[in-house]
């Protein structure tokens, strides 16, 4: 896995590449933001320009309407001439010539309702004039009775494209003729010129048929030419609009138009798209140039700085290897303060590591010497592979050959068969709980001898909490265990001697107790003999006497058996003992002795069915000692019919409490502290071992024995024992 990781790292991009990516990641988003801002600004400026152009087009349309209206007003004023009413067309011809000087027109004509030219300022009066072949304006005026403006047409007299404005002339309430003024595109050129449009823009005035009547560029070429069909259809559908199109000379423009509601003529302004977008493209070119420049400078700096960083880092690689190999570090001056700081830190780390390694070697040597001196065997078990490493002292301790490869099964087979399951359980529990453990067990050496081993260890886990190693030490505790066994044997001997001493104190009472059944047996035997001598023998009486003899014999046997158990030297195993039954047996056993001492024994049995796991004989020994001591304490006081209270009750935390309360002189404060000390006694003929043995017995059963003076006369001894654990 580590090799794979190193392989992946070897394919990782270098510092230069990452710095270049950083430059790209910094500059390109800024460039994108710049493009967005420029396009947004362009869109705003474009909308503003188009809105301004709409206003200009409306202004051109309004100027065109004023041009038409001013001529129409002049014609209406001229049409009121008296000469027309009286039919003086010659005089009106002269009047029209005079009025033409103040009008923006080329000629003034009178047109009859049949389309005949009645008069024209282009010809002397009386000269023959042609009849108009097409008279759409005349028809509109006759139909509406209102003035109007014609579309472009070829003048019959001039032969050029002209347009006319006409007003109706009425006589007697009827239209008898129209008074018209004609003009050429030159008159309309002034309408476009005064708007001051940019030179490259295209502007035009078109009639209702979509023919060009005036144009800002090349009017001679495009006069009376029809605008593109798409634009013409747009003009027919909308009074105002803006659309991309092409001019008649093929220039792509953004066209804005407005149609006059009165004349039906339209003003058209085309903004060349190249001019419209040249600001955007110019800004974008500058932005691209700036971005490329920034990228070039940034990448160059990134490449240079990345090279310096890479060389600084590379310069630290060899010192890092030398640090691991404990070699001398040689770090050259580096480009960056941080790299120099890292180099200084590596140098200090090398010095610290050298000192730590020296300290570790010294510690390991001390530990090895200490372990060797204490004959400690060290072992480590790898839980993943199952391999077991052991120190030389451990092999000596377990009598394994130094060249022999030891496994966990070899170790387990060396443990004594009776202890093997317990050791396995302790190791399994340590692996489960991850807690430190301590245990003692026996091993069987190849020569057949036994050796006691003490072992301590703990489980080591990885970062995820999984158990990886089991590490511990083992040491020889045979000498200590033999000493403990010897001490235990001596304790048993002393306990037995104490019971024998008790037997001496109880001999008189036991003799008196045995005397009763023996006397009864003798009397019954003598009576049986008398009944047998009678003729005939009274066998029915003999049968009853023999039954009494058997009963008294069993009674004597029970007395002897209780004594035998009490003073038997053999070791007994713990067994369930009913506390109140035990108290009753001890009271029965000491009944005669207590009577001889003049002591009344009162029982207060409150433990009910309380049961403890105990050596019954040893607990009997404790209670007998405490009762005899109570009798002696009251005998010293010289009080007749003294009372001893033997009580059983449940104690706290699943315990049973036995107490022996006397009414003697109590325990002196000086004696209280040494009461349970071996060989300490207040009796003239005492050994000083009774209470000491009783406390040892109590502690061996997991209990406690102590004494307290009563509030009144006497003292009380307390024995606390743990109750038997309930069955699962």
- Does residue 154 fall inside a structural domain? yes
- Does residue 316 fall inside a structural domain? no
- Does residue 521 fall inside a structural domain? yes
Q: Which residue has the tokens 């080329």?
A: 106
What pLDDT, on a 0 to 100 scale, did the predictor assign at position 562? 52
Pairing of strands 599-605, 642-651: parallel
pLDDT above 70 for 677: yes
CATH number of domain containing 717: 3.30.565.10
- Does 550 lie in the same domain as 538? yes
CA distances (Å), 236 to each of 255, 257, 268, 649, in order?
15, 11, 13, 121
Distance CA 424, CA 406 (A): 17
Q: Which residue has the tokens 């005397």?
A: 515
What pLDDT, on a 0 to 100 scale, did the predictor assign at position 727? 46
Q: Which residue has the higher pLDDT, 428 or 284?
A: 428
- Does residue 257 fall inside a structural domain? no
- Does 694 lie in the same domain as 586? yes
Confidence of residue 498 (pLDDT cuts 50, 70, 90): low
**Closest by alpha carbon to 77, among 171, 222, 3, 179?**
179
- Does 598 lie in the same domain as 523? no
CA distances (Å), 713 to each of 640, 652, 716, in order?
15, 27, 10
| Average pLDDT value for residue range 164-185 | 91
What pLDDT, on a 0 to 100 scale, did the predictor assign at position 678? 74
- Does residue 238 fall inside a structural domain? no
* pLDDT tens-digit series, residues 500-540: 555 555 554 455 455 546 655 665 676 677 767 777 777 77
Distance CA 643, CA 422 (A): 51
Domain boundary among 460, 476, 492: 476
- Does 611 lie in the same domain as 551? no
What pLDDT, on a 0 to 100 scale, did the predictor assign at position 427? 82
* pLDDT tens-digit series, residues 196-208: 888 888 899 999 9
Alpha helices in 146-249 (DSSP H): 185-193, 219-222, 229-237
490 token code pair: 């001596």
**Closest by alpha carbon to 692, among 494, 493, 505?**
494
672 token code pair: 């209280």
- Does 616 lie in the same domain as 711? yes
CA distances (Å), 359 to each of 168, 347, 365, 376, 622, in order?
127, 18, 10, 22, 59
Distance CA 201, CA 217 (A): 9
- φ/ψ of 161, rounded to 5, equals -75, 125
* pLDDT tens-digit series, residues 434-463: 778 788 888 888 888 888 888 888 888 877
| Average pLDDT value for residue range 487-495 | 61
| Average pLDDT value for residue range 638-649 | 78
Distance CA 232, CA 230 (A): 5
What pLDDT, on a 0 to 100 scale, did the predictor assign at position 1? 39
pLDDT above 80 for 84: yes
Confidence of residue 716 (pLDDT cuts 50, 70, 90): very high
CA distances (Å), 486 to each of 447, 483, 490, 492, 493, in order?
24, 5, 6, 10, 10
Average pLDDT score, the chain: 79
Confidence of residue 566 (pLDDT cuts 50, 70, 90): low
Q: Which element (helix H / strand E) includes 603?
A: strand 599-605
Least reliable range by pLDDT among 242-251, 547-556, 629-638, 691-700: 547-556
**Closest by alpha carbon to 427, among 390, 376, 383?**
383
What pLDDT, on a 0 to 100 scale, did the predictor assign at position 649? 92
Question: Cβ distance 627 to 714 under 8 Å?
Answer: no
Least reliable range by pLDDT among 7-16, 215-224, 511-520: 511-520
| Percentage of the chain lying above the pLDDT 70 cut | 76
Q: Which residues lie across from 214 on neighbouring strands?
A: 205
What pLDDT, on a 0 to 100 scale, did the predictor assign at position 7? 42
What dihedral do alpha carbons 626, 631, 633, 637 form, nearest 10°? 170
- Does residue 718 fall inside a structural domain? yes
Cβ-based neighbour number of residue 510 at 10 Å:
18
CA angle 515, 519, 525 (to 5 degrees): 145
- Does 650 lie in the same domain as 554? no
pLDDT above 80 for 494: no
Question: Cβ distance 702 to 722 under 8 Å?
Answer: yes
Confidence of residue 168 (pLDDT cuts 50, 70, 90): very high
**Residue range of the domain that includes 89:** 68-182
Q: Which residue has the higher pLDDT, 585 or 371?
A: 585
- φ/ψ of 644, rounded to 5, equals -120, 130
Q: Where are the beta strands (DSSP E) in 375-476?
A: 377-382, 388-390, 437-444, 450-461, 467-476
Q: Which residues contact 690 (CB under 8 A, 6 or more apart)?
A: 498, 501, 625, 629
Q: What number of CA atoms fall less than 13 Å from residue 156's CA on the CB side? A: 16
- What does the DSSP 8-state code read for residue 184? -
Q: Which residue has the higher pLDDT, 354 or 661?
A: 661
Domain boundary among 548, 571, 594: 571
- Does 514 lie in the same domain as 389? no
**Closest by alpha carbon to 445, among 387, 491, 401, 490?**
401
Question: Cβ distance 602 to 621 under 8 Å?
Answer: no
| Average pLDDT value for residue range 658-684 | 80
Least reliable range by pLDDT among 63-67, 334-338, 563-567, 707-711: 563-567
- Does 673 lie in the same domain as 586? yes
What pLDDT, on a 0 to 100 scale, did the predictor assign at position 554? 64
Total number of domains constituting the chain: 4
Q: Which residues contact 434 (CB under 8 A, 6 or more apart)?
A: 459, 461, 467
What pLDDT, on a 0 to 100 scale, did the predictor assign at position 663? 85
392 token code pair: 């030389």
- Burial classification of residue 298, based on how many CB atoms lie within 10 Å of its CB (0-12 exposed, 13-18 middle, 19 or more buried): middle
What pLDDT, on a 0 to 100 scale, did the predictor assign at position 6? 44
- Does 514 lie in the same domain as 629? no
pLDDT above 70 for 339: no
- φ/ψ of 356, rounded to 5, equals -65, -40
| Average pLDDT value for residue range 366-392 | 71
- Does residue 42 fall inside a structural domain? no
- Does 592 lie in the same domain as 543? no
Give the torsion sign (CA, 224, 228, 231, 236): positive
* pLDDT tens-digit series, residues 349-362: 766 666 666 676 66
Question: Cβ distance 443 to 414 under 8 Å?
Answer: yes
What pLDDT, on a 0 to 100 scale, did the predictor assign at position 366? 65
- Does residue 541 fall inside a structural domain? yes
Domain boundary among 571, 604, 634: 571
| Average pLDDT value for residue range 72-101 | 89
* pLDDT tens-digit series, residues 109-160: 999 988 889 999 999 988 888 888 878 988 999 999 999 999 998 888 888 8
Q: Which element (helix H / strand E) includes 612?
A: strand 611-614
Give the torsion sign (CA, 358, 360, 362, 365): negative
Alpha helices in 255-405 (DSSP H): 273-324, 337-373, 392-397
Q: Which residues contact 337 (CB under 8 A, 6 or more apart)?
A: none
- Does 382 lie in the same domain as 507? no
Question: Cβ distance 365 to 465 under 8 Å?
Answer: no
CA distances (Å), 88 to each of 84, 170, 173, 634, 660, in order?
6, 15, 19, 180, 170
Pairing of strands 107-112, 174-183: antiparallel
| Average pLDDT value for residue range 226-234 | 88
Distance CA 109, CA 130 (A): 12
pLDDT above 80 for 186: yes
CATH number of domain containing 384: 3.30.450.20
Least reliable range by pLDDT among 270-274, 425-429, 678-682: 678-682
- Does 413 lie in the same domain as 392? yes
């Amino acid at each position: 896995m580590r090799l794979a990781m190193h392989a992946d790292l070897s394919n990782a991009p270098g510092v230069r590449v990452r710095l270049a990516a950083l430059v790209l990641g910094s500059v390109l988003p800024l460039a994108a933001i710049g493009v967005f801002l420029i396009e947004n600004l362009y869109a705003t400026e474009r909308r503003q320009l188009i809105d301004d152009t709409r206003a200009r087009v409306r202004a051109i349309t309004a100027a065109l309407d004023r041009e038409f209206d001013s001529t129409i007003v002049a014609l209406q004023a001229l049409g009121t001439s008296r000469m027309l009413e009286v039919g003086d067309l010659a005089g009106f011809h002269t009047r029209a010539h005079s009025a033409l000087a103040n009008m923006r027109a080329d000629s003034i004509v009178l047109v009859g309702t049949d389309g005949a030219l009645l008069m024209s300022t282009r010809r002397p009066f009386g000269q023959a004039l042609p009849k108009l072949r097409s008279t759409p304006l005349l028809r509109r005026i006759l139909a509406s009775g209102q003035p109007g403006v014609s579309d472009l047409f070829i003048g019959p007299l001039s032969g050029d494209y002209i347009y006319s404005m006409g007003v109706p002339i009425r006589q007697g309430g009827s239209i008898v003729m129209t008074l018209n003024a004609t003009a050429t595109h030159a008159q309309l050129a002034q309408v476009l010129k005064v708007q001051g449009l940019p030179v490259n823009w295209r502007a035009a005035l078109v009639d209702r048929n979509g023919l060009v009547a005036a144009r800002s560029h090349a009017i001679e070429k495009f006069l009376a030419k029809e605008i593109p069909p798409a634009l013409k259809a747009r003009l027919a559908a909308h009074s105002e609009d803006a659309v991309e199109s092409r001019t008649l000379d093929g220039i792509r423009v953004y066209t804005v138009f407005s149609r006059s509601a009165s004349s039906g003529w339209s003003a058209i302004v085309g903004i060349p798209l190249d001019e419209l977008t040249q600001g955007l493209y110019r800004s974008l070119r500058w932005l691209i140039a700036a971005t490329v420049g920034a990228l070039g400078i940034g990448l160059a700096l990134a490449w240079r700085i990345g090279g310096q960083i890479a060389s600084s880092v590379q310069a630290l690689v060899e010192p890092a290897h030398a640090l691991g190999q404990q070699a001398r570090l040689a770090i050259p001056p580096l480009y960056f303060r941080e790299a120099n700081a890292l180099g200084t830190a590596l140098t200090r780390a090398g010095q610290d590591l050298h000192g730590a390694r020296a300290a570790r070697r010294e510690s390991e040597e001390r530990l090895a010497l200490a372990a060797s001196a204490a004959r400690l065997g060290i072992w480590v078990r790898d839980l993943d592979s199952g391999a077991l490493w052991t120190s030389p002292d451990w092999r000596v301790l377990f009598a394994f050959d130094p060249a022999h490869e030891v496994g966990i099964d070899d170790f387990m087979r060396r443990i004594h068969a009776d202890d093997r399951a317990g050791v396995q359980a302790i190791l399994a529990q340590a692996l489960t709980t991850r807690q430190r453990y301590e245990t003692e067990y026996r091993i069987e050496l190849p020569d057949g001898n036994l050796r006691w081993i003490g072992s301590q260890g703990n489980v080591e886990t990885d970062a995820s909490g999984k158990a990886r190693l089991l590490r511990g030490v083992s040491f020889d505790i045979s000498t200590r265990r033999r000493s403990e066994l010897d001490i235990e044997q001596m304790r048993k001997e002393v306990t037995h001697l104490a019971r024998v001493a008790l037997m001496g104190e109880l001999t008189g009472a036991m003799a008196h107790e045995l005397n009763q059944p023996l006397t009864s047996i003798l009397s019954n035997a003598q009576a049986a003999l008398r009944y047998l001598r009678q003729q005939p023998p009274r066998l029915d009486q003999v049968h009853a006497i023999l039954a009494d003899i058997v009963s008294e014999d069993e009674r004597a046997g029970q007395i002897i058996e209780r004594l035998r158990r009490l003073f038997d030297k053999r070791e007994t195993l713990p067994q369930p003992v009913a506390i109140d039954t035990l108290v009753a047996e001890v009271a029965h056993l000491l009944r005669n002795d207590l009577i001889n001492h003049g002591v009344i024994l009162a029982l207060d049995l409150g433990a009910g069915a309380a049961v403890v796991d105990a050596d019954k004989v040893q607990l009997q020994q404790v209670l007998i000692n405490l009762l005899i001591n109570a009798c002696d304490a009251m005998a010293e006081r010289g009080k007749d019919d003294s009372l001893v209270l033997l009580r059983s009750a449940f104690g706290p935390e699943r315990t049973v409490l036995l107490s022996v309360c006397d009414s003697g002189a109590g325990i002196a404060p000086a004696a209280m502290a040494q009461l349970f000390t071996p060989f300490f006694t207040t009796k003239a003929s005492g050994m000083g071992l009774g209470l000491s043995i009783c406390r040892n017995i109590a502690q061996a059963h997991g209990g406690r024995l102590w004494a307290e003076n009563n509030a009144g006369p006497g003292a009380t001894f307390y024995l606390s024992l743990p109750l038997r654990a309930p069955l699962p």
